Amino acid sequence: MIALLRGELVKTLSTRTLLAFLIGGVGFSLLNAVLVAVASGTLRGASQKAEALSTLPILLMVWGLVGAAGEHRHRTAAPAALVARRGRATLLLARLAAYGVTGLGLGTVMTGASLALGLPLLRDQPGPDLDLAQIGTVVAANLAACVLSAIMGAAIGALIRNQIVGVVVLLVLNFAVIPLVAGAQEGLANLTPFGASSILSGMTHDTTLSIAAAGAVLAAWTVIVAGGALTSERRRDLA
């Protein structure tokens, strides 16, 4: 399993797609810090200030989807399974773990960028600054959201196997369907992976769902989707 994980990590880290998503993620983190800390008005509460330090988990979900689905688009899934000489589900499990590890790396860089710019900007806001415990919670929650979103995205990619269809569906759900659901029933939207990841990363605050509960919801969805992908992998053709 360690050898499989190492091989999947090498593939994941050697793609130009990773660099593109890294640049995009850092760019969003910096832009979000400026918009929230400077352009959104007065921030008094800790949850409002924490929003300036949030990342964009949907970006990590899209990255995982594009990468995992690309294994089938570029016809590398079948050779990888043959070379591994292990069960296809085991190989996919290693792939999901690799996306989790690299998702942690991406999340660390993105969160570091938001802290580097956001914290100095937040000092101009009234009220007490975020203390170390609050900053630690923000960092841990953002990293958890990035890791779980990357794994879920890879699992969705393994299920759908089509990059364009997968990305379009994710974006429509996140930016069109979920806001409509939230407008009608906020509690229901919070229980979706998109709503939970938004709360966990701090982009949504003052909700009925706590950060810990949002993390549990996102983790449950990740396990469900990954389980579906692993089950499907055993039954479907790789070609």
Q: What pLDDT, on the 0 to 100 scale, is given for residue 72?
A: 62
For tokens 């479907």, what's the residue? 236
- Asked which of 8-12, 132-136, 143-147 is least confident by mean pLDDT, the reply is 8-12
Whether pLDDT at 77 is above 70 = no
pLDDT band at 84 (very low <50, low <70, confident <90, very high): low
Q: What pLDDT, on the 0 to 100 scale, is given for residue 187?
A: 82
Average pLDDT rounded to a whole number, residues 220-239: 82
Whether pLDDT at 76 is above 60 = no
Give the DSSP per-residue string, 133-175. HHHHHHHHHHHHHHHHHHHHHHHHHHHH--HHHHHHHHHHIII
Q: What pLDDT, on the 0 to 100 scale, is given for residue 200?
A: 92
Q: What is the mean pLDDT of the chain?
A: 86
Residue 42 backbone zone (phi > 0: left; psi -120 to 50: alpha; other: beta): beta
The length of the chain, given as a count of residues: 239
Q: What pLDDT, on the 0 to 100 scale, is given for residue 128?
A: 79
Percent of the chain with pLDDT over 90: 46
| pLDDT tens string 11-58 | 788 888 899 999 999 999 999 999 988 877 777 778 888 888 998 899
Average pLDDT rounded to a whole number, residues 174-199: 87
Phi, psi (5° rounding) for residue 229? -65, -40
d(CA 135, CA 133): 5
| pLDDT tens string 85-118 | 556 778 888 899 999 999 999 999 999 999 999 9
Residue type, 182: A
Q: Give the list of residues 6+ apart from residue 128 with CB closer than 8 angstroms, or none.
A: none
Q: What does pTM read for this prediction?
A: 0.89
| pLDDT tens string 207-220 | 778 899 999 999 99
**Token pair of 161, please?**
């196997």
Phi, psi (5° rounding) for residue 206? 55, 45
pLDDT higher at 3 or 80: 3
pLDDT band at 202 (very low <50, low <70, confident <90, very high): confident
pLDDT band at 176 (very low <50, low <70, confident <90, very high): confident
Percent of the chain with pLDDT over 70: 90
**Token pair of 211, please?**
């950060």
